């Protein structure tokens, strides 16, 4: 969907917002579970959970930086709904979002496959 269509389609805008929230929260839940079960570690925020995965060499710093952008979008949607810039959300999701998610999943899969049972 191009940007002009997106900007006039309320359902598309709200669907993208909701998708970002759900995806970031799912990735964060997975991160927290890995931290707790494999490293006896905890995090105070989503961003910290992802950063601790870098510290534990589960994901790369590049992947963290990409996911951190999605976390920022999620936080903008959830905590500052009166200042949501749907065009920014569309642009960042299109430019970075899917690739960030794919890299995160690949790196976590690699970690799971290579960790000690």
Give the rounded percent of residues in the chain with a pLDDT score beyond 90: 81
Q: How confident is the model at residue 84 (pLDDT cuts 50, 70, 90)?
A: confident
Rounded (10°) CA dihedral 20, 97, 72, 80: -40
Write down the pLDDT at residue 27. 98
Contact 54, 60 (CB under 8 A): yes
Mean pLDDT along residues 63-71: 96
Q: Is the pLDDT of residue 107 over 90?
A: yes
Question: How many Å apart are CA 13 and CA 38, to the nearest integer?
Answer: 37
The structural domains of the chain, ordered by start, are 3-115 (1.20.120.580)
Q: How confident is the model at residue 2 (pLDDT cuts 50, 70, 90)?
A: confident
DSSP 81: G
- Would you say the pTM of this structure is higher than 0.85? yes
Alpha helices in 1-117 (DSSP H): 3-8, 10-39, 46-55, 61-79, 86-92, 98-114
* Chain segment 7-40, per-residue pLDDT in tens: 999 999 999 999 999 999 999 999 999 999 999 9
Q: Is the pLDDT of residue 64 over 90?
A: yes
Question: How many Å apart are CA 71 and CA 75, to the nearest integer?
Answer: 6
Selected residue with higher pLDDT from 11 and 2: 11
């Amino acid at each position: 969907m191009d940007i002009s269509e997106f900007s006039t389609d309320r359902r598309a805008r709200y669907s993208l917002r909701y998708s970002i929230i759900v995806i970031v929260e799912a990735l964060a839940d997975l991160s927290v579970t890995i931290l707790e079960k494999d490293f006896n570690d905890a995090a105070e925020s989503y961003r910290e959970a992802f950063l601790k995965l870098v510290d534990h060499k589960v994901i790369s710093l590049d992947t963290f930086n990409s996911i951190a952008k999605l976390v920022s979008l999620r936080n903008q949607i959830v905590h500052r709904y009166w200042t949501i810039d749907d065009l920014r959300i569309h642009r960042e999701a299109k430019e970075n979002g899917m690739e960030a998610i794919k890299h995160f999943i690949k790196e976590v899969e690699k970690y799971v496959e290579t960790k000690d049972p």
